Structure 1
Amino acid sequence: MNTCCTEHARASAGLPAIEPGMPEPAGTGLSRRNFLLRSAGLGLAVYGAGKLAKLPAFETGVAHAQGAPQGTVLLNVFLDGGVDSLSVLAPVEDATYRRLRPRLALNDGRPFAEDPRLRWHPSVNALADLHAEGKVSVLPAVGYTGADQSHFTSRHFWEVGALDANLRTGWLGRVLDGVGAPDNPLQGVSLDGHLAPALATARNPVAAIAKPEEFGFWAPGAWGPADELAVPAFTQIGRSLQGSGDPAIAQAARAAAFAGTVRDALAPLGADGKPLYAPAAAYPQTADNFPKRLAGFAAMLAAGLPIRAASVRAPGTWDTHANQQETMPKNLQLTFDSLLAFQRDLEARGLADRVLTLVWSEFGRRAAENGSGTDHGAAGVGFLIGTRAAGRMIGEFPGVDKLDAGGNLRATSDFRGLYGALCGDWFGVDPAAVLPDARGLGKPVILK
């Protein structure tokens, strides 16, 4: 029985840690075009300020907008570690399920209206409420054929939108290269304070901001009036030198100008770690930063900031090799109670029709328990949340009586097809200009 993953990790500057020998995260290899400006652990990552050499042909094509509503926003929520889909939506009355999970099988839960075999886990009642309102599209078995059970490899595939270990730009980054602008670092926002690989661009900048009220810069040896004058001065110098004929000076100037742009945009939302905004919904009270980041993001949208995509990691670990009954319910409760509050916040502010939230994990778990937990699997569960979400199942639950050769759920929908629908129908971008496999995959209906 595995008790945990013992993968030794290393960090790539500004990107998540990975195991040696695994695919490099999207964004690796663009270090000459990265600028990371930090203060007290917070900062702005200005990324993709120049063109990356040797881009695949599909990336170099221009992804023209096709008339989608301007200002549509996607929030990308990652459940890191592989969430157990057979706990989130469980076939509680299935005899095979109960044989495979003598300890971990759920005994009850609210019925899932679209498939009478399934019940919601009691800790995701918030999600069940939104589903009952027609605001959640469920992907009960999403993945890809021949699932790789390495965290790093499977996560990389989801982040780049292709089964390609060598791709270095994120799928949302390529969307932003098509619909974004070279002077708007807020078009893509990593809400964890470091670059999210899915947002890694080749040309246009994106930002990394944990919470808007904590954004700022520290000037060494300066405080008080001098500190207050330093950043605006550097910003002005940067703006005046962006057209320099010296590439190094132009790059540094662009970074300073972007930093000042973000600082000015966020200033009305808070200072010195204190928010100047009030959430329009009641978020869970917890020491975890996840609900606070969602509340800050809603406030950023309400302030009119030009954001098109954002990414954030859900709280806790979802790699439940052991002690699943103790850890998973708490993580589910906090994650989906927070996302319900975020949805209510958007609705109260009149922003809900502009925003979709995508919830995903790199894979599901093995159908059979290992004792107190479950090991890495194949197809998992995903959700698309929002008032404009179609609110109907994408794919179907394949059942536990026809597992693959490894004892895992078979995928009935491909994540790349979902991405294609988001590209074309939500962002108004030609999927073929973003996704290398777009022509071979169907697009599900994702919008009402």
Structure 2
Amino acid sequence: MDCCDEHARASAGLPAIEAGMPEPAGTGLSRRSFLLRSAGLGLAVYGAGALAKAPWFETGVAQAQAAGPGTVLLSVFMDGGVDSLSLLAPVGDPRYRALRPTLAVDGGREFTEDSRLAWHPSASALADLHAEGKVSVLPAVGYTNADQSHFTSRHFWEVGALDPHLRTGWLGRVLDRVGSPDNPLQGVSLDGQLSPTLATARNPVAAINKPEDSGFWTPGAWGSAEDLAVPAFTNIGHALRGSADPAVAQAAQAAAFAGGVRDALAPLGADGKPAYTPAAAYPETSDAFPKRLAGFAAMLGAGLPVRVASINAPGAYDTHANQAASLPKNLQLTFDSLLAFQRDVEARGLADRVLVLVWSEFGRRAQENGSGTDHGAAGCGFLIGSRIAGRMVGEFPGLSQLDKDGNLRATSDFRGVYGALCGDWFGVDPAAVLPDARGIGRPVILK
């Protein structure tokens, strides 16, 4: 088995958890799902409690577009705890090969900011972007007294606080301040289910797979009948939004929002067929990750008022076994796709507006267990974009002073990084978003 039992996930909705683990952010949100095609979830609109009686969707989108393009953050989650000591291998540290007699990476290109480190050969795309000054590396990011449970540590990163009871995501709280009650496209989960990171307290967000896959499931209707049913359903939603019955008004608002999202995405394709051409060459693969990134770039290129989005990187990084076989292919597809996405937004003239955050819930144990590595503490993260400062956040602490469990010690706190993103990227007071980050330093992340 490559992954531990604790790491099993549900196939839809919020992540599955074990008894006693923190419930994911977004627990208690109402989901209004509208399904299309046998592939599964096509589109969903989420809101905390009752969706607000907001103005027309079209008005909200128009107002957001009239306000001018805002900055965009794409959160990319490497699920399972990526092995930072392979991704940025400390080949120049004398303890490395003693701790990793089997799994030590014969380094690729030298990491120019610290000669002890070398890029994994499968991360050459990320090394290329770093050489261009478009990647800031966090070589040992985490938090003190790290929890080595997937669920707990992931929850902390998702809510932006070391609080197992918090039910809104940190980017959801950003959207509650920079977003509006009438624009579900302001926050988009690109995996077809709600990302806990985007769970809001007030404003709606949407979940899609790819823009060309979005639509409604209309039982027993297809062809021209379905074409007539979808707008009729949406119009009924508009007509009943003012109902005195809260349940009817809630369902109507959800229908109106979902219909608006579908209509906004319609020019980008339908029936699984894209009507857009990517502005860069994405990897050819059966995995949906590069296609979702290409669709997201097309959404931004079409002027849709997105502020934050989230997506899971391909593969699983909980490499207790068979790490040498599984890790390289997952790294290769992840970073080749992100390089293509960066080239895509550059070609579309959007690069100054778009920033990518790549993170994982923790790193791996410094000492291998044979064919894999166990749960660790500090790991690595990355900020990618044309406006990124392009220099290391925190330092690599070396392998001579591991913590009591044999894990890498954190030299930067993820909440400090979030604080810099809140203040410098979104113009939001970090104290209003991050409840326990007072006193944690905020790094310089932009040029």
Band the TM-score falls in, shorter-chain normalisation:
over 0.9
Q: Which residue of 1 aligns with 2:223?
A: 224
Query: How big is the shift at 1:37?
Result: 1.8
For residue 290 of structure 2, give the secondary structure of its aligned residue in structure 1. Answer: helix
Q: Deviations over 1:340-362 (max 9, x none)?
A: 00000000000111000000000
Q: Which residue of 2 aligns with 1:35?
A: 32
Query: How big is the shift at 1:241?
Result: 2.0
CA contact (8 A) 2:77 2:311 kept: yes
Change beyond 3 A, Cα 1:9–1:124: closer
Hey, what's the Cα distance between the residues in 2 that align with 1:155 and 1:328?
20
Counterpart mapping for 1:253-402 below 5 A? 253-402=252-401
Q: Which residue of 1 aligns with 2:204?
A: 205
Change beyond 3 A, Cα 1:69–1:446: farther
Segment of structure 1 superposing worse, 219-228 or 199-208: 219-228
Please tell me the residue identity of whatever aligns with 1:246.
Answer: D
Segment of structure 1 superposing worse, 388-397 or 20-29: 20-29
For residue 336 of structure 1, give the secondary structure of its aligned residue in structure 2. Answer: helix
Segment of structure 1 superposing worse, 293-302 or 85-94: 85-94
Q: Deviations over 1:244-302 (max 9, x none)?
A: 22211110111010011111101100011100000000000011110000000000100
TM-score, scaled to structure 2 = 0.93
Change beyond 3 A, Cα 1:251–1:49: farther
Alpha-carbon RMSD: 1.7
Q: Which residue of 1 aligns with 2:54?
A: none
Please tell me the residue identity of whatever aligns with 1:305.
Answer: L
Q: Which residue of 1 aligns with 2:106?
A: 107
Query: How big is the shift at 1:49?
Result: 4.9
CA contact (8 A) 2:42 2:214 kept: yes
Aligned length: 430
For residue 440 of structure 1, give the secondary structure of its aligned residue in structure 2. Answer: coil
TM-score, scaled to structure 1 = 0.93
For residue 192 of structure 2, give the secondary structure of its aligned residue in structure 1. Answer: coil
CA contact (8 A) 1:174 1:202 kept: yes
Hey, what's the Cα distance between the residues in 1 that align with 2:167 and 2:406?
32
CA contact (8 A) 1:46 1:206 kept: yes
Q: Which residue of 2 aligns with 1:444?
A: 443
Hey, what's the Cα distance between the residues in 1 that align with 2:436 and 2:142?
14
CA contact (8 A) 2:34 2:217 kept: no
CA contact (8 A) 1:26 1:170 kept: yes
Q: Which residue of 2 aligns with 1:95?
A: 94
Segment of structure 1 superposing worse, 221-230 or 97-106: 221-230
Hey, what's the Cα distance between the residues in 2 that align with 1:426 and 1:70?
13
Q: Which runs of 4+ in 1 moved over 6 A?
A: none
CA contact (8 A) 1:12 1:28 kept: no
Hey, what's the Cα distance between the residues in 2 that align with 1:354 and 1:141?
27
Q: Which runs of 5+ in 2 are unaligned?
A: 52-66
Change beyond 3 A, Cα 1:10–1:444: closer
Hey, what's the Cα distance between the residues in 1 that align with 2:49 and 2:227?
30
Change beyond 3 A, Cα 1:13–1:291: closer
Query: How big is the shift at 1:34?
Result: 2.5
Hey, what's the Cα distance between the residues in 2 that align with 1:291 and 1:365?
26
User: Do residues 250 (structure 1) and 265 (structure 2) align?
Assistant: no
Hey, what's the Cα distance between the residues in 2 that align with 1:12 and 1:117?
40
Hey, what's the Cα distance between the residues in 1 that align with 2:283 and 2:354?
21
Query: How big is the shift at 1:11?
Result: 4.4
Query: How big is the shift at 1:7?
Result: 2.3
Counterpart mapping for 1:140-179 below 5 A? 140-179=139-178
Q: Which residue of 1 aligns with 2:407?
A: 408
